[in-house]
């Protein structure tokens, strides 16, 4: 019933278009600019970003998401005449235990995977700990990453999945579209330029995972926890010269590592860890009726409000 919750709002086409352009515009502009800019100009912009202190670069990248999340909430509440809870979950209140469990599971699995890789071969990973910069990184990450991942989840798995679902009158179309678009909008990240477009398989696969979580659990809580845990690990644990954000993480991946090898590790990690995560959630939260929840049609008994 997660998608159906949008049916109680005001879904006139111009309201949906305005909200989408106002909130997703940053991704659209970024993607179009990336496609139109010459490779030399793209590389130069990445080099400029790398020349900034890492904490400043992180702040510049994350602060806009605070504004965008507030804008999305405001437009859903005022234009669509819906409360934010309907954008978040089918439960009577947000289940913060679900968010915490998902965050802990993802961070634990990623730490275990890193520890295994480090034990097998640490030649390409160097210790990068500097107390003050790392403390600053922790503070920025804890304060601002919730807004960044919150905006992406509320936009893609929340607003867009619900609105596309209303239009398509089923659940598999919004799952497919939001997952692919989520991946495509990350194509301007510097690691794509270094590793090749094969890394899009990872982004789109992650989009599918988050979408499946949302539909099966009838809420964003698990997706929010996963996304936050994943981004915190990415920022705090290991950095590299070709990552989306170069941070003062605990470890640094050596430049000797071929990008293709890093891509292979990402894909293997996804193929191994993602099924474990889904099965864990399915068992803990008693997920049933997979076919109807992922491929079923909408319940049309809910009334739609119009002008």
| Residue with tokens 């009577």, as numbered in its chain | 92
Q: What pLDDT is attached to residue 307?
A: 41
- Return d(Cα 208, Cα 117) in angstroms, integer: 26
In Å, what is the CA distance from 30 to each residue of 188, 202, 235? 7, 20, 21
Interhelix angle 200-217/259-284, nearest 10 degrees: 10
Domain coverage including residue 82 = 3-295
Q: Is residue 12 part of a domain?
A: yes
- Return d(Cα 131, Cα 117) in angstroms, integer: 24
Q: What pLDDT is attached to residue 201?
A: 87
Q: What pLDDT is attached to residue 86?
A: 96
Q: Is residue 147 part of a domain?
A: yes
Q: What pLDDT is attached to residue 306?
A: 37
In Å, what is the CA distance from 54 to each residue of 60, 71, 102, 193? 10, 27, 28, 20
Q: Is residue 303 part of a domain?
A: no
Q: Is residue 93 part of a domain?
A: yes
Q: Is residue 110 part of a domain?
A: yes
What is the C-alpha R_g of the chain? Answer: 20
- In terms of phi and psi (left: phi > 0; alpha: psi -120 to 50; beta: otherwise), the region of 233 is alpha
pLDDT in tens, the chain (307 residues): 899 999 999 999 999 999 999 999 888 888 888 778 887 777 777 777 777 888 998 999 999 999 999 999 999 999 999 999 999 999 999 999 999 999 999 999 999 999 998 998 888 889 999 999 999 999 999 999 999 999 999 999 999 999 999 999 999 999 999 999 999 888 777 777 677 677 888 899 999 999 999 999 999 999 999 999 999 999 999 987 766 667 899 999 876 555 566 677 777 778 889 999 999 999 999 999 999 999 999 876 544 443 4
The domain total for the chain is 1
Q: Is residue 278 part of a domain?
A: yes
Q: Is residue 306 part of a domain?
A: no
Q: Is residue 220 part of a domain?
A: yes
């Amino acid at each position: 019933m997660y998608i159906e919750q949008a049916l109680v709002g005001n879904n006139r086409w111009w309201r949906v278009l305005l909200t989408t352009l106002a909130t997703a515009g940053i991704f659209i502009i970024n993607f179009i600019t990336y496609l139109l800019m010459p490779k030399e100009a793209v590389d130069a912009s990445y080099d400029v970003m790398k020349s900034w202190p890492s904490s400043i670069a992180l702040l510049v990248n994350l602060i806009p998401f605070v504004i965008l999340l507030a804008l999305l909430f405001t437009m859903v509440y005022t234009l669509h005449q819906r409360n934010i809870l309907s954008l978040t979950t089918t439960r009577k209140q947000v289940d913060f235990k679900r968010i915490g469990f998902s965050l802990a599971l993802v961070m634990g699995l990623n730490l275990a995977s890193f520890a295994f890789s480090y034990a097998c071969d640490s030649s390409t990973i160097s210790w990068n700990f500097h107390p003050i910069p790392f403390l600053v990184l922790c503070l920025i990450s804890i304060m601002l990453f919730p807004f960044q991942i919150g905006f992406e989840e509320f936009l893609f798995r929340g607003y867009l999945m619900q609105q596309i679902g209303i239009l398509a009158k089923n659940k598999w179309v919004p799952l497919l579209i939001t997952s692919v678009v989520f991946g495509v909008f990350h194509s301007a990240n510097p690691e794509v330029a270094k590793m090749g477009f094969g890394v899009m398989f990872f982004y789109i696969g992650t989009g599918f995972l988050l979408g499946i979580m949302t539909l099966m659990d009838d809420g964003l809580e698990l997706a929010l926890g996963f996304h936050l845990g994943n981004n915190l690990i990415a920022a705090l644990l290991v950095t590299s010269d070709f990552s989306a954000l170069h941070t003062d993480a605990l470890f640094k991946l050596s430049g000797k590592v071929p990008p293709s090898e890093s891509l292979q590790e990402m894909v293997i990690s996804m193929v191994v860890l993602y099924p474990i995560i889904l099965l864990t959630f399915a068992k803990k939260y008693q997920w049933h009726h997979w076919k109807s929840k992922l491929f079923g049609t909408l319940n049309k008994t809910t009334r739609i409000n119009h002008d």
